[in-house]
Each structure stands twice: as C-alpha cells, then as structure tokens.
C-alpha cells in the first residue's frame, strides 16, 4: 500500500471511530464554478444582514488561502437526527439545536482526529473547521462524494437524508480522492412547494433573507416579516424543507449522546420563554446552539409567534 492509500485509510478509519457517519476526500483547489454563483447570490442581496457571507470572498473559494500548502479537503458528516421531536405547546425548534452546541462537540472530535493523524503519520499541517470560517462545506462534501446539494441548498445523501452536520479538515497531505456524487433530486419540488415564505426562489437557490432560520437566528433586530402565521410556530430555525424531503425517510436517530434533547426544552411554556432572564437562559441553554440568539432573541421570536394566539 502506497502512502496516499495508507494515509487515506487512517483518516477514514479514525473518522468512523470518532462516530462520524461518513467521510469523503477531495482535492484542495479553487472552486471556479461556485465563484460565479456566489458573486451573483451576494449581488442580489440574498445574504440579508449576514454581512460575514460577503467577507473573505477569495478564502471562501480557495482552501489554499486558508491553509498554506493545502492539498486535501476531508469532509465529515455527523448525524443529529433526534429520537423524538422536542418542544412544548407546538413551539418549534430546529432539530440541530435540541442538544449541546455542535461547534464544541465536533471541534473536540476533529482535534482528536488531527492528534491521531500526527501520531500515526508524522507532521501534518492543517486546520479543523466547524462552520467557523469561510468554507463552502456543502460544496466540498458534494465534491467528496458524500451527497449532492439539493434544491433546498442542503446536502442530501441517499442513505441518510440531510439531518447531519458537516465539518472539514483542510490538510497538506496528498490523498486518494473520492468521486463527485450524482444528483438525485429529479423532478421533485416538495421543498420549494412547502417553504412558507418562498425563500427557495428557484431550484438550488435560497434567498437567505426570506428564510425563517434567518429571521429567527441571524437577524438581530425586530422581525420585519408581516405575516407571523407563515412561521408555523418556528421560534429557532426551521426544518420544513428537510421534513418534506423524501430522502429524509432514511434518517435514523443519532448515537451521539451530546445531541440528546435538553430536558428543559420540554418543560418550557410560552410564558416561561417570555419571562426568561439572561441568567436563567444561560443556566438552561448556555451549552446549546440556542445561545446564538440569547435570551433576548428567543423572547423576541416567541413574542412574534405569540401574536397568533
């Protein structure tokens, strides 16, 4: 076995040991086709107030500008699909936020992975990424054979749907590269038809500034959308376009204990959210993805939705 094959096997074995559901590898190179698409998307203002999306344009498209000497992008998927739905009084929270914050959970795994690689291979230069830098994670995962970017702009996998996190190692090792995945969306338009705010403006194009997840997580001001009934009780994120996707019938509950639903979510009533102090919020949800909005953001979202009552 040559070095490329041996190193590739070490990486994929370690990914499986750490609980990742899939691992794929692609060559670190400039994403030429995506450059045009990203520029057009930004020029139309579809990033709304997510100004960070317009920053570091070159780094977003070229991994060698993030990691000097980068030769490979290792993409990893970690399942977060829950055993049961969470929430109370029909207030809905995106499934990825039920348990502990995925950033810290996955980063710990990736750091352990890098330690193992350096122990077994020797000096390996690179960085780990968990939704924390300008990396086009879905594009790299698709290039690594882990699925295809669907019409709702999520990565879809034939065996497991789309309820998973994506993370990367960008490293300076030459490895064996996986073939790109085929697109299996076909003529299906369920995600487009189901989106209540028409955020999926055409197949494979999502206007982020119209998405319920944008309004409830990214937006810092008052929600300007005039029809709260369209939100369908979603107070943090939205899973509608994933819930209706036929490929998610293959989703299976995660084995990752860190993603088990926070019991406090089941206990919170609308009135509890509206009366929540920052101190109590940190105590109950400080280690969860809900911390992205803080107590003030959650109270804003619940207050907006409660206009329907």
Q: Which residues are catalytic?
A: 131
* HSE (side-chain half, CA atoms, 13 Å) at 302: 24
* Whole-number Å distance between alpha carbons of 149 and 261: 27
Please answer whether residues 298 and 290 qualify as being in contact, where contact means their C-beta atoms are separated by less than 8 angstroms: yes
* Whole-number Å distance between alpha carbons of 177 and 204: 25
Please answer whether residues 170 and 126 qualify as being in contact, where contact means their C-beta atoms are separated by less than 8 angstroms: yes
Element (H, E) at 79: strand 72-79
* Residue 23: strand pairing partners: 76
Please answer whether residues 132 and 41 qualify as being in contact, where contact means their C-beta atoms are separated by less than 8 angstroms: no
**Residue 280 vs residues 82, 198, 294, 297: alpha-carbon distances, Å:** 25, 36, 11, 14
* Cβ atoms < 10 Å from Cβ of 121: 15
Residues in the chain: 309
């Amino acid at each position: 076995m040559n070095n490329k094959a041996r190193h590739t096997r070490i990486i994929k074995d370690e990914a499986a040991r750490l609980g990742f559901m899939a691992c794929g590898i692609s060559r670190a190179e400039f994403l030429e086709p995506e450059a045009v698409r990203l520029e057009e998307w930004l020029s139309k203002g579809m990033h709304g107030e997510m100004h960070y999306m317009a920053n570091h344009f070159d780094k977003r498209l070229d991994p060698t500008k993030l990691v000097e000497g980068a030769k490979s992008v290792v993409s990893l998927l970690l399942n977060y699909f829950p055993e049961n739905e969470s929430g109370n009084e029909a207030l809905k929270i995106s499934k990825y936020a039920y348990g502990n914050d995925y950033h810290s959970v996955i980063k710990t795994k990736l750091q352990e992975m890098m330690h193992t690689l350096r122990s077994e291979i020797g000096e390996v230069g690179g960085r780990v990424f968990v939704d924390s830098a300008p990396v086009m994670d879905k594009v790299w995962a698709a290039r690594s054979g882990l699925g295809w970017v669907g019409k709702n702009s999520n990565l879809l996998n034939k065996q497991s749907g789309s309820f998973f996190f994506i993370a990367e190692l960008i490293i300076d090792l030459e490895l064996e590269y996986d073939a790109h995945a085929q697109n299996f969306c076909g003529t299906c338009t369920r995600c487009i038809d189901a989106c209540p705010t028409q955020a999926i403006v055409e197949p494979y194009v999502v206007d982020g500034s119209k998405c319920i997840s944008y309004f409830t997580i990214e937006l810092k001001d008052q929600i300007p959308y005039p029809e709260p009934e369209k939100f369908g009780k979603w107070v943090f994120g939205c899973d509608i376009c994933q819930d209706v996707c036929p490929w998610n019938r293959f989703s299976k509950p995660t084995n990752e204990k860190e993603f088990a639903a926070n019991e406090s979510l089941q206990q919170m009533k609308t009135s509890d959210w509206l009366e929540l102090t920052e101190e109590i919020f940190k105590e109950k949800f400080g280690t969860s993805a809900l911390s992205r909005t803080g107590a003030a953001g959650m109270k804003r979202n619940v207050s907006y939705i409660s206009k329907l009552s």
